[in-house]
Amino acid sequence: MKRRAVCFEFDISLSLIDAYGNIRECIDIKANQPTSIPLPLKREVYKDNAQKSYYIYDGNGILQDFEIYIPPFVLNELIVNEYDSFLQTNQCKEEYQEIFTNTLKILNLNIKKKDYILHPQVIALEEFIIKKIPLKQPYQ
């Protein structure tokens, strides 16, 4: 199972919860101490004792941003066009607001921290957009 180093500013106990609400693993993490934890599988999430969710994604470096949630979405041309419009106008349909806003947060973090969060749907969206854009010949 893949793992990711995380670091919290406070002591925390996390439980890895599967899609059926079952606890797969419990982990105690000390404040400011990087700790390697298993990456959740699809439809799994880490929760603390107060049932607050923490979203742990693959990526590089020590993860310290845990509250960025991307709801599952179907990647198709419609959503790509809606996202393109969102990037130009900063407006979108309510149903896409959380997806697009948090995708943008991840992309901005990745620019600053180089592949910091590798969310599979964000990567797929990026690749779809890149393939859609015709590449211009370099200037000579």
| pLDDT value of position 1 | 80
* The pLDDT of residue 137 is above 60: no
Over residues 48-77, the pLDDT tens digits come to 999 999 999 999 999 999 999 999 899 998
Over residues 105-117, the pLDDT tens digits come to 999 999 999 989 9
Q: What mean pLDDT do residues 82-101 have?
A: 94
Kindly give the interhelix angle for 97-113 and 120-132, rounded to the nearest 10 degrees.
Answer: 90
CA dihedral 100→104→107→113, nearest 10 degrees, is -140
Q: Where are the domains of the chain?
A: 1-67, 69-140
